[in-house]
Amino acid sequence: MSIKNCQFIVPGLSSELALKTFEGFFEMNEIYGLYNKNKTPINHKNVRLNQINIESEKEIKEYILSIRDSLKNIVLVNFAACSIDGLSSRYSSNDWDTTFNINIKSNFLFSKYLSPIMIANKWGRIINISSVRSLNGAVGASAYSSSKSALIGLNRSIAKENARFGVTSNILNLGYFDSGLFRKFTPERKVKYLSEVPSKKLGSSNDIYNAIHFLISSDYTNGSVITIDGCME
C-alpha cells in the first residue's frame, strides 16, 4: 500500500507531538483529526478537524458512521491520552475512570467501529500510542501506567482477530520527546528524566513519523510493541 493513498484518523491530533509528527503527512494524505477539549487551529486543505467526546461510545460511533462512505485505506493512529498524577492511596475513582476511558476504552471503541470497514476493504492499520510507563510504572502514575499496560493486551488481541483480513495492529511505546509536556516539567525533573537516557537526548517527532511509515508499509509486523525511548534505564 502506498502511503500516499492512506486516510488517517487521528484522535488527539491537537497535541503538539501529534501535530509535529503528522506535518509530514499533511501534503499527501487526507487527515481526519479529532480533539476532545483542546483545539489547535490547523489550516490545511487535507485536514478535517472535529471535536467529539472520546469518552462517549455514541459520539464515536456517530462520527465514524458520518465519514464511513469516504473511507478506504484507513490508518487509525490513537494519539489521545490522559495523565492525571496522584499517589494510589489518594487517587479518586473519577480520575481513574477518566484515565481509563481515554487511554484504553476510546482505543477499543475506535478499533471496534473502524475494524469492520478495514476488514471489508481487506486492508487497514491500527497504531496505538503508548508509553514506556506501561512497562516500568512510575511514582504517582498508577492509573496512567495501568491503562497503558492494558493497551498492550488489547492491541495483541485485536491483531490476532484481524490478521487474516489484512489488518494489523501495533503499539509505539514512547519515551521522552521534545514536546509541550516535557517543557512543562521543572528543571530538576527534566534533569532526572534525561539522566535515564544514555544519550542524554530527547526523542524527535521524526522518530515517530518514520515508525508510522514503517508500520503502514509492513504487512507482517503485527501485534508488536515498538519502543522508541533511546534505551531508557
> What CATH number does residue 105 fall under?
3.40.50.720
Q: Choosing from 35, 63, 113, 144, which is the catalytic residue?
A: 144
pTM strictly above 0.85: yes
| pLDDT per residue of the chain (233 residues) written in tens, 0 to 9 | 677 789 999 999 988 899 999 998 998 899 999 998 777 778 889 999 999 999 999 999 999 999 999 999 999 999 998 888 888 888 899 998 999 999 999 999 999 999 999 999 999 999 999 988 777 777 777 888 999 999 999 999 999 999 999 999 999 999 999 876 777 778 888 888 889 999 999 999 999 999 999 999 999 999 999 999 999 86
Q: Are 196 and 232 in contact (CB under 8 A)?
A: yes
d(CA 161, CA 55): 24
What are the grid coordinates assigned to 138, written together? 512510575
Looking at the chain, list the stretches that DSSP marks H as alpha helix, in order from N- to C-terminal side.
Answer: 16-22, 57-67, 93-100, 106-121, 133-136, 142-162, 180-183, 187-194, 205-217
Is 233 a member of any domain? no
Identify residue 209 by its one-letter amino acid code.
Answer: Y
Q: Residue 53 belongs to what domain range?
A: 3-228
Identify residue 214 by its one-letter amino acid code.
Answer: F
By three-state DSSP, how is residue 104 classified?
helix
* Helices and strands counted in the chain (H then E): 9, 7
- How many folded domains does the chain comprise? 1
Is residue 35 flagged as an active site residue?
Answer: no
